[in-house]
Structure 1
C-alpha cells in the first residue's frame, strides 16, 4: 500500500512539474501552425547548400511535429526537391525539440539545461545534414522510396474539397499540396494544438509519466553511487534503450527527470532526451528507404556520437562547478491552484484520447483514405 502511495505521489509530482508548460506549449504550437503557410516549409528547404541545411535545422527546432508526424512531412519535402542533407537535418531537429517540449524542459530542468538541449540539437542536426550532402549523394542512386508520392501529414491543414471537385486538397489529381489562401483562425489554431497535436502525444506522454513514476519508486537510492564508478555503463545502457524506443520529446522528460532524481548522471539523462526522440525503429527504416544506406549511417552516427559527446560535456561541467545534478530538476513547486488546474486539464485531455469509445466519435473521411483526415 505504501508503495502504491509513493507511485501516485511521484506521478502527481511529475504531472505538476510539466502540465502548465505543456498546455502553454500546445497553445503556442497551435498559433504557430495556423500562422505559418504550408508552402513556407517547402519553399526554403530546397537545394544542397549549407544554408538550406541550416534553415531546415533551425525551422525544425520549434516546429510542433512529433517523431511520427515528421516522417510523412520529410517524405513530402524529399519529393519536392529538398536535398538529402536538408531532409535528414529536419528529421533530427524536429522530433528532439518542439515548442511544447522546450517549455516543458524549462519548467522541469531550468533555462541553462533548456538552452543546452536546443543548441546541441542544432549542432547534431546541422552536422548530420552537411555530412549527408557530402557522402550521401556520391555514387548513391535515388532510393526507391524517394520517388513515392508525397504523404500529407496530419499536422498540415486539409481544406475541404471545393464544390464539384473530387478530393480537393487531399486528392493528388494535379492539386496535391495546393490549398487556397485563408486568414488566421483562432479556433483552428486551438483545434490543432489541443486536438491534433495532443492526440499525437497523448499515448506516449501517458506512458512516459507512468514509466517516470515507476522509475522514481523502483530504482534503488544508491544506484548513483554504483554508477559513479561506471559512468560509461550508464551511457551505454541509455543509448541501447533510447535508439530503438519510440518516445516523443515531451514524453521523454518525466523519464529523464526520474533517472536524475534516482541518481543517474544528468549527462546520461541528456543522452536519453537527445537520442530517444530522434530515433526509433520506424524512423530508421524510413531513413534507409528514403535517403539511402549512407545517410542512415550518418543519421545514427551523428545522433549517437553527438548525444554521448554532449552528455559527457554536461557531466564534466556540473562536476567542475560542483553542482548536484538533482538540484537542476524542479519538482517541488506543485501545490498552487494554477498547477493543480493544469494537471487536471492535462489528464483530462490525455484520457480523452486514451478512451476514445467514451469521449469521442469515430470520424470517417468521405471519398479518401485516412491519410487525408485530420486527427481529432
Structure 2
C-alpha cells in the first residue's frame, strides 16, 4: 500500500512538472504549423543533408522548450516534411539548451561551462542527425509514370494520383508566372486561424502521442520511486563508475534543462566530478521515458538507437573532456542555487487538462479496436 501511494505521488509530481511544458509545446506547435508553410520546412529540413541537420540543430538551441515540450514540436516538423535526421537533431538540441537555461548555466557555473554545454549539445545533435540520415533513410515511395499502361485501359489509382500531381505542379508553375488562379490560394495561406492551430495541436498531434505519453509517465513514475536517496554518496564513493550511474539515472528520468542545474551543482559539491555532472546535464534533459517512447513510434527503432547512443556516448566523451578542462584551468562552480518550488494552480490545472486529453484518446483508441 505504501509503494502504491509513493507511485501515485511520483506520478502526480511528474505530471505537474511536465504538463505545462507539454501544453505550451502543443500550442506553440499549432501556431507554428499555421504560420510556417509546410513547403518551408520541406525545403530547409526535408533533405537528408548535413545542412538540413545543422539548420534544425541551430533552430532548436535557443528555444526554451523542455524534453517533453519538444515532442509536439518535433512531431509537427516531421509531419511537415522534415527528414528523420533533422527531426532527431531538433529533438536533441532543443531540450538541452534554451535561452533561460543558458543564462542560468552562466550564473551558476560560469562562461566556460556554458559555452562548452552549448557547443557540445550542437555537436551531439548534429552527429545524431547525420547518422540517422545515413543509416535510417526515409523509405522512398515508388512513383508511376503518367505514361504507364493499365491492362484494363482504365487509369489506376496511382496513375490518377500522378495526373493530379502533375496538374497541380503545372498549376503552381502558371501561378508563379503571375496567373490569377493562385491569388486566392495565397490569400488563404496568409490567413491565420487560431481554431485550426488548436485543432492541429490538441487533436492531430496530441492524438498521435497520447499512448506513448501515457506509458512514459507511468514508467517514469516507477523509475522515480526506485532511485536511491543517497545517490550523491554512491557517485562519490565509486568515482570511476559515476558516469555509468549518472547515465542510468539521467536517461529515463524527466528533468528540464534549467531544473537539472541545481541537481548537477549538488553532485559537484558532494564530490562528484564536473564531467559526471555534465553527463547528467546533457542526458537528463535530452531524454526521458516519454521521449524515448515517442521517438520509437515517430522515427523507428534504428533512429531510437542512434538517438540514445549519440546522447550517451557523446555526453560521456564530452564529460571526460570537461574534467580535463576543469583540471587544467582549476575552475569550480562558485555558487549553488537551491530551488524548492511547490506546484502552482497552473501546474495542477495543466496536469488535469493533459490527463483528460490523454485518457480521452486512450479510451477512443480502445473503443475503435
TM-score by length of 2: 0.60
Distance in 2, Cα, partners of 1:304 & 1:223: 17
Q: In structure 2, which of residues 257, 275, 285 is the aligned counterpart of residue 277 of structure 1? A: 285
CA 1:48/1:132 → structure 2, altered by over 3 Å: closer, same or farther?
same
Q: Which structure carries more helix by proportion?
A: 2
- The answer to whether residue 336 in structure 2 is matched with residue 328 in structure 1 is no
Residues 143-171 of structure 1: CA deviation (Å, up to 9, x unaligned): xxxxxxxxxxxxxxx9544xxxxxx4334
User: Who is 2:179 aligned against?
Assistant: none
In structure 1, what is the equivalent of residue 87 of structure 2?
Answer: 87
Confirm whether residue 351 of structure 1 aligns to residue 351 of structure 2: no
State the Cα deviation string for residues 217-257 of structure 1 (Å, max 9, x = none).
x955x974x34xxx331101000001111111111111101
CA distance in 1, matches of 2:341, 2:286: 26
Q: Is 1:261 equivalent to 2:269 in the alignment?
A: yes
Change in Cα spacing, 1:289 to 1:55, as seen in structure 2 (3 Å) is same
Deviations, residues 164-197 of structure 1 (Å, cap 9, x unaligned): xxxx43346xxx99xxxxxxxxxxxxxxxxxxxx
Aligned to 2:3: none
State the match for 1:234 in structure 2.
Answer: 242
Spell out the pairing of 1:291-306 with structure 2 (5 A cutoff). 291-306=299-314
Whole-angstrom CA distance in 1 between matches of 2:318 and 2:252: 20
Structure-2 change in CA distance of 1:241 and 1:83 (3 Å)? same
In the other structure, the counterpart of 1:180 is none
Task: State which of 174, 183, 197 in structure 2 corresponds to 1:169.
Answer: 197
Evaluate the alpha carbon distance shift between residue 92 and residue 41 of structure 1 in structure 2; reply closer, same or farther with a 3 A threshold: farther
After superposing on structure 2, the runs of 4+ consecutive aligned residues of structure 1 that deviate more than 6 Å are 138-141
SS in 1 for 2:254: coil
**Which runs of 5 or more structure 1 residues have no equivalent in the other structure?**
1-25, 142-157, 162-167, 178-203, 335-342, 372-376
Q: How does 1:195-234 map to 2 (within 5 A)?
A: 219=232, 224=236, 226-227=237-238, 231-234=239-242
Q: Could you tell me whether the CA contact under 8 Å between 1:78 and 1:84 is conserved in 2?
A: yes
In the TM superposition, what is the alpha-carbon distance from 1:40 to its structure 2 partner?
A: 4.6
Distance in 1 separating the partners of 2:250 and 2:353: 34
Question: Secondary structure of 2:322's partner?
Answer: helix
Kept in 2, the 8 Å contact 1:261–1:329? The answer is no
Give how far 1:118 is off.
Answer: 0.3
Rg (Cα) greater in structure: 2
Q: 1:287 and 1:140 mapped to 2: Cα distance?
A: 20
Following superposition, the deviation at residue 114 of structure 1 comes to 0.5
Contact 1:266/1:311 (<8 A) preserved: yes
Query: Does the 8 Å contact 1:257/1:329 carry over to 2?
Result: no
Q: Show the counterpart of 1:164.
A: none
Query: TM-score, normalising length from structure 1?
Result: 0.59
**Which structure 2 segments of 5+ residues have no match?**
1-20, 142-191, 206-219, 362-369
Over the aligned positions, Cα root-mean-square deviation in angstroms equals 4.1
What is the CA deviation profile of residues 336-368 of structure 1, one whole-angstrom value per residue up to 9, with x for unaligned ones?
xxxxxxx8xx958x5343565xxx9x889xxxx
1:263: Cα distance to partner? Answer: 0.6
* 3-state SS of 1:246 partner: coil
